[in-house]
Chains A and B, each alone.
Chain A
Amino acid sequence: MSIVSAKYLYAEDGVTKTNIQLNLGTNDDGHTRRKHIPIDPNRDSYIEIMDMVAAGELTIADAD
């Protein structure tokens, strides 16, 4: 999985972080491949991303 960028997504309250959104790149049509990972410390995919953050390989930005 090649990650272009990452940012947090928030609940409707605008405060609670719900997901990490990964930008996985753009295809020939100019459409973006994305992955949403719910914030769950018991989830393999979330743990994998946070390991990348801890290793300095990825930075997760706040929402736009």
Chain B
Amino acid sequence: MSKDKLTDYDSTTASNNTDVGGISVAEGMLPSAVNNSIRELTKQLGAFADGTDGIDVLSLADDDASHAIKLQAPSAVTADTTFTLPDGDGASGQAMVTDGAGTLSWAAPYGNRNLIINGAMQVAQRGASVSGLANSPAYIVDRFSYRRTGAWSTFAATMSQENVNTNGLRHSLKLLTTATENSSDGAALSTALEGLNLQSLEYGTSNAKAITVSFWVKSSTTGTHQLSVQVDDLTNDTYPATYTIDSADTFEHKTVTIPAGSTSESIANDNTSGLDLYWVYSPIDSTLTAGSWQNTNWYNGVSGVVDLANVTNGYLEITGVQLEVGEQATPFEHRSYGDELARCQRYCFAQARYGDGNIGTDAGGGTRLRSARHSSNASFVFYQYPVMMRANPDLTFTDNSSGTVSDYGNAGGLHIYDGGDTAWYLYDLIAEAEL
């Protein structure tokens, strides 16, 4: 058989290799066959070098050639695949990931890489929808809020948790225009990240890192839409970015990479808001140029972006939101409902959660937090929150107390003292320590 490529040769018995590309190199070969066989061999080496022909195993021997690290393809390969390595080493602890098209890069290892809480929109402790949206912020899905600025006149919208079934995601957050207005006011869907959770970005150092935001989005309206990133601790605190909706009423996956905000200014390492994302629904103007950190605000618009507040039945719907350190988007990190609920409870704890059917009602039994008697005329309700909250929360509750109420609570638990009632209870409690 003609030996036309390197893998055709016998690697153990040299005398078996009597042919090079159909040229006999057996004993008594013609002198001209020497030249021709060398030329054939160099052609075969060239084919190996440019990837036209492969080899079975790449063996990287140790110094004394006693052992080797070997790389090889699977026994059956269904389609040619080219992997392109990253340019240089990654940071300590990073792993190599693919973009799905064969380009490899360094990224944070999978697991706990998504800095967004409730990115799958599955936890909604306050209910399923809210209409009117007169006040800002307003919440339905935990950790995501409706924000507005300015003196809106006729604009009205409904925010809701939607049931979807796309790419393993079963819920989304939707903002829907129910009354339009062509105004110079701002509105957005937003989520805020706590400074304590952002120190891996290393802002304020020469190692300050880029972030990559990826999400699924659906809208009534095609065209250019705006995602603003705002870090209040920076002088140039806002990075307006854009993404394009190609098809109306269809979930599309978008990725936006944001360069490091500052190597000289840091994000405070505390429990205040460190970084906010705004999916701009309605910008107040259209004067900005996207793609750089600027001293502006989330509601200042990039030229040409869609204003959904002025679109009849206009809407924006997002889910699968992920923010990770680095310039590479990786697949959405699905977390269990319990994990997400516990993370959300640092910012909101609803005693009778949506789905229990007890919101706003005195259902008795376990929905009541009953007082413990303190003295002949006083009692208190103490309740330790499931997790330490971000801060001493706002409390909203209903009670049957008839006495004077004091609040001695903190971020760890509720402690309400009633100096004039020895037996009372409260229910329908919501504790909120949102950013």
Q: Per a CB cutoff under 8 Å, which of B393, B398, B404, B406 touches A31?
A: B398
Q: Per a CB cutoff under 8 Å, which of B137, B399, B408 touches A34?
A: B399
Chain A window 29-53, contacts with chain B (Cβ cutoff 8 Å), 1 for yes, 0 for no = 1111111111010111100100000
Are B398 and A32 neighbours in the complex by a CB distance under 8 Å?
yes
Alpha-carbon distance A48/B135, docked complex (angstroms): 10
Chain B window 159-203, contacts with chain A (Cβ cutoff 8 Å), 1 for yes, 0 for no = 000000000000000000000000000000000000000000000
Q: Per a CB cutoff under 8 Å, which of A29, A44, A63 touches B404?
A: A63
Chain A interface residue count, CB cutoff 8 Å, equals 28
A7-63 CB contacts (< 8 Å) to partner B: 9-12, 18-19, 21, 24, 27, 29-38, 40, 42-45, 48, 63
Majority secondary structure, B binding face: loop
Are B394 and A45 neighbours in the complex by a CB distance under 8 Å?
yes
Are A11 and B362 neighbours in the complex by a CB distance under 8 Å?
no
Q: Assess A33 versus B407: contact at CB under 8 Å? Given A1-B135, A42-B272, A44-B137.
A: no
Interfacial chain A residues near B362, Cβ < 8 Å:
27, 29, 31
Alpha-carbon distance A18/B395, docked complex (angstroms): 13
Interfacial chain A residues near B137, Cβ < 8 Å:
44
Interfacial chain B residues near A40, Cβ < 8 Å:
391-392
Alpha-carbon distance A27/B399, docked complex (angstroms): 10
Are B394 and A30 neighbours in the complex by a CB distance under 8 Å?
no
Are A30 and B398 neighbours in the complex by a CB distance under 8 Å?
no
Interfacial chain B residues near A48, Cβ < 8 Å:
135
Nearest residue (CB) in A for B411 is: A38
Interfacial chain B residues near A63, Cβ < 8 Å:
404, 406
Are A36 and B400 neighbours in the complex by a CB distance under 8 Å?
no
Interfacial chain B residues near A1, Cβ < 8 Å:
135
Chain B window 394-435, contacts with chain A (Cβ cutoff 8 Å), 1 for yes, 0 for no = 111111110011111100000000000000000000000000
Alpha-carbon distance A39/B324, docked complex (angstroms): 35
Alpha-carbon distance A42/B434, docked complex (angstroms): 12
Are A37 and B399 neighbours in the complex by a CB distance under 8 Å?
no
Are A36 and B272 neighbours in the complex by a CB distance under 8 Å?
no
* Tier of interface size on chain B: 20 to 34
Are A38 and B400 neighbours in the complex by a CB distance under 8 Å?
no
Q: Per a CB cutoff under 8 Å, which of A11, A12, A33, A37 touches B398?
A: A33
Alpha-carbon distance A57/B394, docked complex (angstroms): 21
Kindly provide the distance from the CB of B289 to the nearest chain A CB, expressed in whole angstroms: 30
Interfacial chain A residues near B409, Cβ < 8 Å:
36
Are A21 and B394 neighbours in the complex by a CB distance under 8 Å?
no
Q: Assess A21 versus B407: contact at CB under 8 Å? Given A34-B396, A34-B399, A35-B394.
A: yes
Alpha-carbon distance A12/B400, docked complex (angstroms): 22
Are B396 and A35 neighbours in the complex by a CB distance under 8 Å?
yes
Are B404 and A27 neighbours in the complex by a CB distance under 8 Å?
no
Alpha-carbon distance A62/B134, docked complex (angstroms): 29
Alpha-carbon distance A33/B137, docked complex (angstroms): 21
Interfacial chain A residues near B391, Cβ < 8 Å:
38, 40
Q: Per a CB cutoff under 8 Å, which of B394, B401, B406, B407 touches A32?
A: B401
Interfacial chain A residues near B395, Cβ < 8 Å:
34-36
In this complex, the member of B362, B394, B397 whose beta carbon has the largest number of chain A beta carbons within 10 angstroms is B394
Are A31 and B135 neighbours in the complex by a CB distance under 8 Å?
no
Kindly provide the distance from the CB of A19 to the nearest chain B CB, expressed in whole angstroms: 5
17 A–B contacts, CB within 8 A, in A order? A11-B408, A29-B400, A30-B400, A31-B398, A31-B400, A32-B398, A32-B399, A32-B400, A32-B401, A33-B398, A34-B395, A34-B399, A35-B395, A36-B407, A36-B409, A44-B137, A48-B135
Residues of B within 8 A of A (CB): 135, 137, 272, 362, 391-401, 404-409
**Cβ-closest 6 pairs across A and B:** A36-B395, A35-B396, A19-B407, A38-B392, A64-B404, A31-B400
A30-B400, A34-B405, A36-B409 known, 12 other contacts, Cβ within 8 Å:
A12-B406, A18-B408, A24-B396, A33-B398, A34-B399, A35-B396, A36-B394, A36-B407, A38-B392, A44-B137, A45-B394, A63-B406
